[in-house]
Amino acid sequence: MTGNETDTETDSVGIVSLVGSGPGDPELLTVKARRLIDEADVVLHDKLPGPAIIETIPEGKREDVGKRAGGDRTSQEYTNERLVELAREGNHVVRLKGGDPFVFGRGGEEAAYLAEHGVDFRVVPGVTSALAGPALAGIPTTHREHASSVSFVTGHEDPTKEESAVDWNALAATHGTIVVLMGVGKLPGYTAALRETGMSGEVPVALIERASRPDERIVTGTLETITGVADREGIEPPAVTVIGDVAGERDRVREFLQR
């Protein structure tokens, strides 16, 4: 070592990509999402991207941060810390999320945590099931004859909240389409809440389970009947609920709708 050399150690800091995988069909991944997944050193994913996408990732570079055996879940705190840890080791990390990372996907929380800890990140939007689910079922979320607005609502709020932040009266007053994500379990509650606002029980409703996947199922009914239909058909998460006159458009096109 010469006299003017110094022995310094510099951290090699990587980058985190918050990537939306779309509703589950691998062909609905964006080109950029596919490239970044293939180039990543580590992919942290949950179950929502679906097996058809997850299985394209080599097992040695993917980590499941979703549900665990026995019903346990990986905490958001752990996922946040793991993203920072891996990036600080110099990795290109993909945080793979279902749909779009900023639509009820906690992407905003993860972005804020990365920024607070000095980690560079980028966001890759995905096709949200709030739009893809209805579209694939032949249901336009807006329609000149039926709805000039559409509202996206979560059916699964933070359980630590003392009361719901969803104003069903305000949503009903828009006379537009209401799309509820992660709302199967709370279906009886919010359909009743909308009825209590004065919304007609005859308003069409559609449920799209596992949109875009081989085992996709679609059931329809009305605000009054849909809970019974869902129970009878055994509809399970993940599913999208579409409430509004646009849901009735499916019957007009379903005979010719090719999948």
Partners of 73 in beta bridges? 67
The reply to whether 145 and 105 lie within a common domain is: no
What residues have CB less than 8 Å from 19, skipping those under 6 apart?
Answer: 33, 36, 37, 94, 95, 96, 97, 101, 124, 126
Q: What is the mean pLDDT of residues 92-109?
A: 96
The reply to whether 51 and 112 lie within a common domain is: yes
The reply to whether 114 and 168 lie within a common domain is: no
pTM: 0.88
The reply to whether 232 and 115 lie within a common domain is: no
- Residues 33 and 232: their CA atoms lie apart, in Å, by 38
Domain assignment of residue 94, yes or no? yes
Res 188: pLDDT: 96
Domain assignment of residue 178, yes or no? yes
> Does residue 1 carry a catalytic annotation?
no
Domain assignment of residue 9, yes or no? no
Q: Which of 64, 67, 167, 251 is catalytic?
A: 67
Which of residues 68 and 90 earns the better pLDDT score? 90
> Does residue 47 carry a catalytic annotation?
no
Which of residues 222 and 10 earns the better pLDDT score? 222
Q: Which of 46, 100, 186, 199 is catalytic?
A: 46
Query: How many separate domains does the chain show?
Result: 2
Domain assignment of residue 198, yes or no? yes
Res 1: pLDDT: 40
Domain boundary among 124, 143, 158: 124
Q: Which domain holds residue 32?
A: 15-124
The reply to whether 150 and 93 lie within a common domain is: no
Using one digit for the tens of pLDDT, what is the confidence trace for 22-34? 999 999 999 999 9
Classify burial at 229, counting beta carbons within 10 Å of its beta carbon; exposed 0-12, middle 13-18, buried 19 or more: middle
Using one digit for the tens of pLDDT, what is the confidence trace for 202-214? 999 999 999 999 9
The reply to whether 85 and 139 lie within a common domain is: no
From residue 121, how far is each of 9, 54, 113, 152, 258 by CA, in Å? 23, 21, 10, 26, 38
Using one digit for the tens of pLDDT, what is the confidence trace for 70-100? 567 889 999 999 999 999 999 999 999 999 9
The reply to whether 55 and 149 lie within a common domain is: no
Domain assignment of residue 42, yes or no? yes
Does position 226 have pLDDT exceeding 60, yes or no?
Answer: yes
Using one digit for the tens of pLDDT, what is the confidence trace for 115-172? 999 999 999 999 999 999 999 999 999 999 999 999 999 987 655 556 677 999 999 9
> Does residue 67 carry a catalytic annotation?
yes
Partners of 151 in beta bridges? 178
Q: Which of 25, 100, 182, 199 is catalytic?
A: 182
- Residues 156 and 152: their CA atoms lie apart, in Å, by 12
Domain assignment of residue 68, yes or no? yes
Res 4: pLDDT: 44
The reply to whether 247 and 144 lie within a common domain is: yes
Neighbours of 144 (CB within 10 A): 7
The reply to whether 162 and 177 lie within a common domain is: yes
Q: Cα-atom radius of gyration of the chain, to the nearest Å?
A: 21
- CATH number of the domain encompassing residue 154: 3.30.950.10
Taking all residues of the chain, what is their mean pLDDT, rounded to a whole number? Answer: 91
